[in-house]
Amino acid sequence: MLTLLAALLIPAISIGQVQQTDERTKLPSGDQSRAQNVFVEVGGQGLLFTANYDTRFSNKRNGLGGRAGIGYIAIDGDHVTTVPIGLNYLLGTGKHLFEVGLGATVIAAGGDDFSLFDEEASNVLGTMSFTYRLQPVNSGFAFRAGLTPIFGKGFFIPYYAGLSLGYTF
Whether the predicted pLDDT of 4 surpasses 90: no
**112 within 8 A of 139, measured Cβ to Cβ:** no
pLDDT confidence of residue 145: 98
Whether the predicted pLDDT of 29 surpasses 60:
no
Position 90 in a domain:
yes
N-term to C-term CA, the chain: 50
Note the pLDDT tens digit of each residue in 10-22. 444 444 444 444 4
Whether 161 maps to a domain, the answer reads: yes
2 lies in some domain: no
Q: Are 12 and 5 in contact (CB under 8 A)?
A: no
Query: 114: helix, coil or strand?
Result: coil
pTM (2 d.p.): 0.74
Which domain CATH number covers 56?
A: 2.40.160.20
Contact 137, 96 (CB under 8 A): no
pLDDT at 149 > cutoff 50: yes
The mean pLDDT value of the chain amounts to 82
Closest CA to 57 of 27, 100, 89: 89
Residue-number span of the structural domain to which 123 is assigned: 33-168
E strands of 29-118, at which residues? Answer: 36-43, 49-56, 63-75, 78-91, 96-110
Residue 8 lies in a domain: no
In a domain, 120, yes or no: yes
Burial class (CB in 10 A: 0-12, 13-18, 19+), 52: buried
Distance (Å, whole) CA 157 – CA 161: 10
Strand-pairing partners, residue 87, are 66, 102
> pLDDT of 60-118, one tens digit each?
889 999 999 999 988 888 888 999 999 999 999 999 999 999 999 999 887 665 555 55
Residue 109, pLDDT score: 83
Is 27 inside a domain boundary? Answer: no
Helix or strand or coil: residue 29? Answer: coil
Residue 28: its pLDDT value, please?
45
Q: Which residues pair with 150 in a beta bridge?
A: 127, 157
Domain presence at residue 19: no
Residue 32 confidence (pLDDT) above 80:
no
Q: Is residue 84 part of a domain?
A: yes
CA distance 86 to 34: 17
How many folded domains does the chain comprise? 1
